[in-house]
């Protein structure tokens, strides 16, 4: 089984993803976690899915607040991604974010900020899946995204083979 888990971990490192910051509030302050397990799941109604380690501080905070935001990072935001990925460290996010009030946090200069309330919570193994109802979206500048692949950050190469 360990061999399967190791190969599973490796296989997922080969899946290139975008990088998001999931923000919620802890002690009345913005708190941001770096998350790649994020996808849209419905347009009618608009629903988004994120999957967080159940033991992460953000998970309990989202359960308490019933609100979170998802910010899609641009290629020049590696520092933001690294800050949100410091395991076990405080991840207060004032430096990188601004608030529109009542849990509606935006990462400054993100490609998009999606504000959600929790619609559904599902426990899956050691993770908690949150399905968020999208209440508002703030679109930023349309720039290149930050990507994650093979345990490294990278940029999108627009070369396409037809
Ligand atoms: C590119 C990248 C993607 C990540 N995606 C996720 C994710 O989808 N879900 C998750 O729970 N942690 C993810 N992590 C790990 C968390 O950001 C990191 O472990 C976090 O610091 C844990 O927070 P904690 O200290 O509150 O436990 C990711 C980290 C990186 C660098």
CA dist 47 and 4 (Å) reads 32
pLDDT at 102: 72
Residue 107: per-residue pLDDT:
98
The lowest-confidence range among 12-16, 126-130, 145-149, 153-157 is 153-157
pLDDT (0 to 100) of residue 57:
96
Residue 51: predicted pLDDT: 98
Per the listing, tokens 């290149």 go with 144
Q: For atom 15 of ligand 1, which residue has the closest CA?
A: 85
Which residue's C-alpha comes closest to atom 11 of ligand 1? 52
Q: Which atom of ligand 1 is nearest to the CA of 127?
A: 11
The pLDDT of 87-95, averaged and rounded, is 95
How would you label 67-99 residue by residue, b for 16+ Cβ within 10 Å and e otherwise? bbbbbbbbbebeebbebbbeeeeebebeebbee
> CB within 8 A of 132, min separation 6: which ones?
47, 48, 49, 50, 68, 70, 114, 116, 117, 118, 119
pLDDT over threshold 80, residue 159: no
Q: Whose CA is nearest to atom 10 of ligand 1?
A: 52
Q: How far is the CA of 161 from the centre of ligand 1 (A)?
A: 33
**Segment 53-68, tens digit of pLDDT:** 999 999 999 999 999 9
User: What does the pLDDT read at residue 162?
Assistant: 66
Identify the DSSP state of 144: P
Portion of the chain with pLDDT greater than 90, in percent: 92
Task: Residue count of the chain, please give it.
Answer: 162
Pocket flag, ligand 1, residue 85 (CB < 6 Å): yes
**What pLDDT score does 105 carry?**
93
52 Cβ below 6 A of ligand 1 = yes
pLDDT(115) > 70: yes
Residue-averaged pLDDT of the chain: 95
Q: Which of the listed residues 85, 150, 152 should we mutate to test ligand 1's pocket, taking the one with most ligand atoms within 8 A of CB?
A: 85
Q: What is the CATH number of domain 18-71+79-84+97-144?
A: 2.30.110.10
Tens digit of each residue's pLDDT (9 = 90 or more) over 3-55: 999 999 999 999 999 999 999 999 999 999 999 999 999 999 999 999 999 99
Is the Cβ atom of 78 under 6 angstroms away from ligand 1? Answer: no
Q: Is 77 in the pocket of ligand 1 (CB under 6 A)?
A: no
């Amino acid at each position: 089984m360990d061999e399967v888990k190791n190969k599973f971990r490796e296989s997922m490192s080969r899946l290139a993803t975008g990088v998001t910051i999931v923000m919620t509030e802890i002690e009345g302050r913005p708190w941001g976690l770096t998350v790649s397990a994020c996808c849209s799941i419905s347009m009618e109604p608009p629903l988004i899915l994120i999957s967080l380690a159940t033991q992460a501080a953000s998970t309990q905070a989202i359960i308490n607040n019933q609100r979170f935001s998802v910010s899609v990072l641009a290629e020049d935001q590696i520092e933001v991604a690294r800050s949100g990925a410091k395991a076990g460290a405080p991840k207060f996010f004032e430096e990188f974010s601004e608030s529109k009030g009542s849990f509606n946090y935006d990462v400054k200069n993100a490609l998009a900020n999606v504000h959600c309330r929790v619609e559904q919570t599902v426990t899956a193994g050691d993770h908690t899946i949150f399905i968020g109802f999208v209440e508002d979206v703030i679109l930023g500048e349309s720039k290149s995204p930050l990507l994650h692949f093979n345990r490294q950050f990278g940029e999108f190469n627009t070369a396409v083979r037809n």
